[in-house]
Amino acid sequence: MPAPTIVFDLDGTLIDTAPDLIDTLNVVFAREGLPPVPYDTARNLIGGGARAMIVRGIEAEGRSVPPAEVERMFADFIAYYADHIADRSRPFPGLLDALDELAARGCRLAVCTNKLERLSLLLLEALSLAGRFEAICGQDTFGIQKPDPEILRRTIAAAGGNPRHAVMIGDSLTDIRTARAAGVPVIAVDFGYSDKPVSEYAPDRIISHFEQLPASIAAVSIA
């Protein structure tokens, strides 16, 4: 059996981006005269992209704004975030060793995220990780977002892989739904940004540290 293609979500799976995303959200809200969103609340808003984070942050305050205002705030968010993308964002513990082991086993590695592709590349380059991945695909790469399974299929293809020999790694219901719809086994991390325990979404495996990832991939690949 060929070594599988391993496709990772980005925010909350590979990288702990919450500090910079939440800082950016609250900078934008301050400019709009909106109160800051508490860290623990905002952490669970991450996962659907910056636009959704803004909308959910406003809704968390019991407010709403017209779509045109959301788009203006989104543009402001992206501009600020691009300049502060790796101020405090860091890989989760054990990630580098796990990537080294998977590469040594012949696995192709890829990223499939609802983050914009440009920002995904910028972040991974800032953390000296971009070169580890055969493909880095965002919401605008194909004009498709998770949970549409086509973004996962196209990411696997872009990495030179085959969906029949692939595994998805994510932290949310969105990732699990995407993988399920694509017919790809899915491993969930329990240290990400899910607003409920990922065990409730029944992934094939759950890991609490990246040191557990190679064995979990082997288990679901065999299954």
Three-state DSSP at 208 gives coil
Task: Please write the tens of the pLDDT for every residue from 47-87.
Answer: 777 888 999 999 988 888 899 999 999 999 999 999 999 99
Residue 47 has a pLDDT of: 73
Q: Closest by alpha carbon to 70, among 44, 49, 43, 85?
A: 49
Neighbours of 199 (CB within 10 A): 11
Cβ atoms of 110 and 161 within 8 Å: the answer is yes
Q: What is the pLDDT of residues 107-140, one digit of tens each?
A: 999 999 999 999 999 999 999 999 999 999 999 9
pLDDT tens profile 155-203: 999 999 999 999 999 999 999 999 999 999 999 999 999 989 999 999 9
Ranges of each domain in the chain: 5-16+90-222, 18-83
* Chain centroid offset of residue 73 CA: 21
What are the backbone angles phi and psi of residue 174, rounded to the nearest 5°? -60, -45
Query: Any idea which architecture 18-83 has in CATH?
Result: Orthogonal Bundle (1.10)
Q: CB of 182 within 8 A of CB of 149?
A: yes
Q: Is the pLDDT of residue 204 over 90?
A: yes
Supply 215's token pair: 């064995």
**Domain 5-16+90-222 sits in which CATH superfamily?**
HAD superfamily/HAD-like (3.40.50.1000)
Q: Which residues are catalytic?
A: 9
